């Protein structure tokens, strides 16, 4: 590993400087004549440089929460604060990787153009832009596919392109919305390791939303378990597994099994409608 | 593959079949009048039409008329395209505006352009502008409606991606909305081009503005039946050429589109 390819600035990692602060977040969807409370009261913080996973039963408002954090959706009450600034629209230091990679990448552009476009929009100078695109595609193992169109690649490769696009953007916060839900199990394991290694290399803060319990325990430093809708935080589970993780040994650790069972039980509780006192 | 090649001969290519069909039509048009099945005064044999066409092609009048028709058609279509695309992007991009104008568009669109002939004559007389008005009116709606469909077709995930990377509104139009709408614009162009040609000829025939349509009317009134058919054939050929050219452009511009591309990953 040579020099940090994206040159993400080093940030002080103290408990007081929260990268992301979600306070009393509530989201009610107002429909015709009826309103649905998707998220009731969510409060948590993510420190700079952390990798935090959010799991919850299906329909727990995970995507709603992520869209509120991304500034793509207005909140009904409470606030989202990113790097000390209140989020009212998509903030500058953030990139989102969507689950639907096939629709998030633009089919009329090549892989390189897809990765480069947000940088152009950000007015990154040409030389630096070139290097960022090259480095990020190399980091996801797709340096040879630059001139292909996304639809000429497999699903896993397309999601790698979307990750490269996010990484090249040099975000401080990387939001991932069930990014591997649509790829096969083997590709999924590879992509999980890719996220871990990019996170360790770049020092970026990652908030990873998933419905997969194993995935959340394997990836995260913390796992925030959500209740069913209207959503509150059920438990914030610290994951005290070694920092160096790999698919075979980490997943066969007794501690992994314990944490997995614990999160599993929480999800079962959440499904049965249990709420914290 | 091998079974098929062994079992039966592969069918002749489709262009050959198409050509055979055309040759059949020419044969019928040639033979029917000669055999006395139809009156030669109203449908002369194809060879007579071809001769009349050759005769026409030797006159400056024919080429001037052809040019007038092409110019009127292209001008009208260009105006309709620019106006249709620009207004389509604006109306489609502003949902309240779209909702407000929807019923108006649905009312104006079905009005047959030929119903405006009296108005056009009142405004511009037998000038080429009369015909231009009809051409623009008819093809504009074709383009506008397609662009409106196209703008509505933008994928919500693509839109959110653009928003999350903080694309400026103009960048969103250029890199997301326009490419999404492009297949629809192409369809609008093809439909508009066909309708524009119909109205161009109609205008020339009925209003008498200069062009092939007027030549057809002149040929008809002077009893030059073969020449009349010859001109009709020329108009048909223009239509075919325009359609072929539009499809070729479409294929080139939309190589990435699912209807044209070949995915490597299934």
Nearest CB neighbour to A72, from listed B163, B175, B264: B163
CB within 8 Å of B258: residues ≥ 6 apart: A107, A151
**Residues in chain B within 8 Å Cβ distance of A117:** 165, 175
Nearest CB neighbour to B256, from listed A71, A90, A149: A149
Mean pLDDT of chain B: 90
Q: Is the model's pLDDT at A173 over the cut of 60?
A: yes
Question: How far is Cα B193 from Cα B142, in angstroms, rounded to an integer?
Answer: 9
**Residues in chain B within 8 Å Cβ distance of A153:** 264-265
Query: Is A104 within 8 Å of chain B by CB?
Result: yes
Exposed, middle or buried by CB within 10 Å (0-12, 13-18, 19+), for A266? buried
Distance from CA of A92 to the nearest CA of B (A): 7
The answer to whether the CB of B150 falls within 8 A of the CB of B180 is: yes
Are A98 and B261 an interchain contact pair (Cβ–Cβ within 8 Å)? Answer: no
**Long-range CB contacts (< 8 A, 24+ apart) of A179-183?**
A179/A97, A179/A98, A179/A99, A179/A101, A179/A208, A180/A210, A180/A212, A180/A215, A181/A99, A181/A210, A181/A211, A181/A212, A182/A99, A182/A100, A182/A101, A182/A155, A183/A155, A183/A156, A183/A159
Can you tell me the mean pLDDT for B34-45? 88
Distance from CA of B1 to the nearest CA of A (A): 26
Nearest CB neighbour to B171, from listed A67, A72, A121: A121
Question: How far is Cα A122 from Cα B143, in angstroms, rounded to an integer?
Answer: 34
Can you tell me the mean pLDDT for B11-32? 89
Distance from CA of B259 to the nearest CA of A (A): 12
Q: Is the model's pLDDT at B12 over the cut of 50?
A: yes
What interface predicted TM-score (ipTM) does this complex get?
Answer: 0.86
Query: Is A90 within 8 Å of chain B by CB?
Result: yes
Nearest CB neighbour to A98, from listed B161, B171, B264: B161
Using only the alpha carbons of chain B, give its radius of gyration. 24
3-state secondary structure of B239: helix
Considering only residues 114 to 153 of chain A, which have any Cβ-Cβ distance to chain B shorter than 8 Å? 117-118, 121-122, 149, 151-153
Residue A59 banded pLDDT, cuts 50, 70, 90: confident
Question: How far is Cα A235 from Cα A96, in angstroms, rounded to an integer?
Answer: 25
Mean pLDDT of chain A: 89
B195-249 confidence digits (pLDDT tens): 999 999 999 999 999 999 999 999 999 989 999 999 999 999 999 998 898 888 8
Nearest CB neighbour to A108, from listed B166, B168, B179: B179
Q: Give the CA-trace dihedral at A54, A139, A205, A220, to 10 degrees.
A: 40
CATH number for the A17-93+172-277 domain, one of 3.20.20.140, 3.40.50.2300, 3.40.50.300, 3.40.50.20?
3.40.50.300
What was the pLDDT predicted at A257?
Answer: 95
Domain ranges (residues) in chain B: 47-249
Question: How far is Cα A176 from Cα A199, in angstroms, rounded to an integer?
Answer: 12
**Residues in chain B within 8 Å Cβ distance of A106:** 158, 175-176, 179
Domain ranges (residues) in chain A: 17-93+172-277, 97-170
Q: Is the model's pLDDT at B171 over the cut of 90?
A: yes
**What b-and-e string marks burial along B14-32, b requiring 16 or more CB atoms within 10 Å of the CB?**
eeeeeeeeeeeeeeebbee
Can you tell me the mean pLDDT for A54-65? 88
Order of strands, sheet of A222-226, starting from the edge strand that comes earlier in the sequence: A85-86, A77-82, A18-30, A35-47, A231-238, A222-226, A51-55, A205-210, A173-177, A94-97
Residue with tokens 């190589």: B255
Query: Apex CA B83: angle with CA B77 and CA B89, to 5°?
Result: 130
Cα–Cα nearest to B179, from B204, B191, B162, B196: B162
3-state secondary structure of B235: helix
What was the pLDDT predicted at A4?
Answer: 45
Mutation site, A90, A113, A122, A166, interface B, largest B CB count within 10 A: A90
**Residues in chain B within 8 Å Cβ distance of A92:** 166
Query: Apex CA A133: angle with CA A131 and CA A139, to 5°?
Result: 100
Cα–Cα nearest to A110, from A156, A155, A145, A73: A145
What was the pLDDT predicted at B141?
Answer: 95
Can you tell me the mean pLDDT for B93-108? 91
Residue with tokens 């990836």: A219
Mutation site, B150, B161, B175, B257, interface A, largest A CB count within 10 A: B161
Nearest CB neighbour to A104, from listed B161, B171, B258: B161
The answer to whether the CB of B87 falls within 8 A of the CB of B141 is: no
Nearest CA in chain B to A106: B158
The Cβ of residue A222 has, within 10 Å, a number of other Cβ atoms equal to 17
**Residues in chain A within 8 Å Cβ distance of B171:** 121
Q: Is the model's pLDDT at A6 over the cut of 50?
A: no
Protein fold of B47-249: MetI-like fold (1.10.3720)
Share of chain A above pLDDT 70, in %: 94
Q: What are phi and psi of A184, to 5 degrees?
A: -70, 165
The Cβ of residue B137 has, within 10 Å, a number of other Cβ atoms equal to 22
| Residue A232: strand pairing partners | A41
3-state secondary structure labels for all residues of chain A: CCCCCCCCCCCCCCCCCEEEEEEEEEEEEECCCCEEEEEEEEEEEEECCCEEEEECCCCCCHHHHHHHHCCCCCCCEEEEEECCEECCCCCCCEEEECCCHHHHCCCCCCHHHHHHHHHHHCCCCHHHHHHHHHHHHHHCCCHHHCCCCHHHCCHHHHHHHHHHHHHHCCCCEEEEECCCCCCCHHHHHHHHHHHHHHHHHHCCEEEEEECCHHHHHHHCCEEEEECCCCEEEEEEEECCCCCCCCHHHHHCCHHHHHHHHHHHHHHHHHHCCCCCC
Nearest CB neighbour to A152, from listed B167, B171, B265: B265
**Residues in chain A within 8 Å Cβ distance of B168:** 121
What was the pLDDT predicted at B249?
Answer: 85
A209-231 confidence digits (pLDDT tens): 999 999 999 999 999 999 988 89
Are A121 and B158 an interchain contact pair (Cβ–Cβ within 8 Å)? Answer: no
Q: Is the model's pLDDT at B172 over the cut of 70?
A: yes
Q: What are phi and psi of B26, to 5 degrees?
A: -60, -45
What was the pLDDT predicted at B147?
Answer: 95
Are B179 and A100 an interchain contact pair (Cβ–Cβ within 8 Å)? Answer: no
What was the pLDDT predicted at B1?
Answer: 45
What was the pLDDT predicted at B41?
Answer: 85
Question: How far is Cα B185 from Cα B214, in angstroms, rounded to an integer?
Answer: 31
B117-139 confidence digits (pLDDT tens): 999 999 998 888 999 999 999 99
Nearest CA in chain B to A116: B165
């Amino acid at each position: 590993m040579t020099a940090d390819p994206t040159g993400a600035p080093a940030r002080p990692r103290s408990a007081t400087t929260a990268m992301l602060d979600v306070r009393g977040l509530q989201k009610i969807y107002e429909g015709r004549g009826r309103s649905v409370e998707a998220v009731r009261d969510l409060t948590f913080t993510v420190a700079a440089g952390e990798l935090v996973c959010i799991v919850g039963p299906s329909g727990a408002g995970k995507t709603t929460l992520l869209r509120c954090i991304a500034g793509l959706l207005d909140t009904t009450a409470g606030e989202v604060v990113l790097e000390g600034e209140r989020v009212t629209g998509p903030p500058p230091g953030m990139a989102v990787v969507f689950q639907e990679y096939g629709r998030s990448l633009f089919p009329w552009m090549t892989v390189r153009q897809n990765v480069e476009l947000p940088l152009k929009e950000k007015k990154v100078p040409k030389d630096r832009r070139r290097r960022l695109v090259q480095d990020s595609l190399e980091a996801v193992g797709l340096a040879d596919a630059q001139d292909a169109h996304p639809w000429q690649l497999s699903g896993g490769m397309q999601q790698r392109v979307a990750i490269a696009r996010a990484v090249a953007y040099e975000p401080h916060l990387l939001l991932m919305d069930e990014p591997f839900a649509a790829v096969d199990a083997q590709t999924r394991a590879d992509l999980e390791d890719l996220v871990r290694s990019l996170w360790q290399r770049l020092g970026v803060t990652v908030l990873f939303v998933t419905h997969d319990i194993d995935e959340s325990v394997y990836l995260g430093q913390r796992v925030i378990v959500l209740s069913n809708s209207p959503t509150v935080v059920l438990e914030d589970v610290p994951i005290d597994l070694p920092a160096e993780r790999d698919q075979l040994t980490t997943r066969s650790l007794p501690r992994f099994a314990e944490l997995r069972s614990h999160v599993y039980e929480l999800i079962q509780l959440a499904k049965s409608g249990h709420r914290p006192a | 593959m091998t079974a098929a090649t062994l079992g039966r001969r592969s069918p002749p290519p489709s262009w050959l079949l198409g050509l055979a069909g055309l040759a059949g039509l020419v044969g019928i048009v040639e033979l029917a009048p000669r055999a006395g099945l139809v009156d030669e005064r109203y449908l002369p044999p194809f060879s007579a039409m071809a001769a009349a066409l050759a005769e026409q092609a030797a006159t400056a009048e024919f080429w001037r008329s052809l040019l007038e028709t092409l110019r009127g058609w292209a001008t009208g279509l260009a105006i309709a395209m620019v106006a249709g695309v620009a207004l389509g992007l604006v109306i489609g991009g502003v949902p309240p505006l779209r909702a407000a104008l929807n019923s108006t568009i649905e009312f104006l669109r079905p009005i047959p352009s030929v119903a405006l002939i009296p108005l056009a004559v009142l405004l511009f007389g037998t000038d080429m502008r009369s015909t231009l008005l009809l051409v623009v009116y008819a093809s504009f709606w074709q383009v506008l409606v397609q662009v409106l469909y196209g703008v509505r077709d933008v994928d919500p995930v693509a839109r959110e991606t653009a928003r999350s990377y903080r694309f400026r509104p103009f960048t969103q139009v250029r890199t997301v909305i326009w490419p999404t709408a492009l297949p629809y614009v192409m369809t609008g162009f093809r439909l508009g081009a066909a309708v524009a040609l119909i109205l161009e000829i109609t205008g020339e025939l009925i209003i008498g503005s200069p062009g092939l349509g007027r030549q057809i009317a002149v040929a008809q009134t002077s009893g030059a039946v073969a020449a009349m058919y010859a001109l009709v054939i020329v108009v048909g050929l223009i239509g075919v050429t325009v359609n072929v050219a539009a499809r070729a452009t479409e294929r080139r511009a939309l190589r990435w589109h699912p209807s044209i591309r070949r995915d490597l990953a299934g």
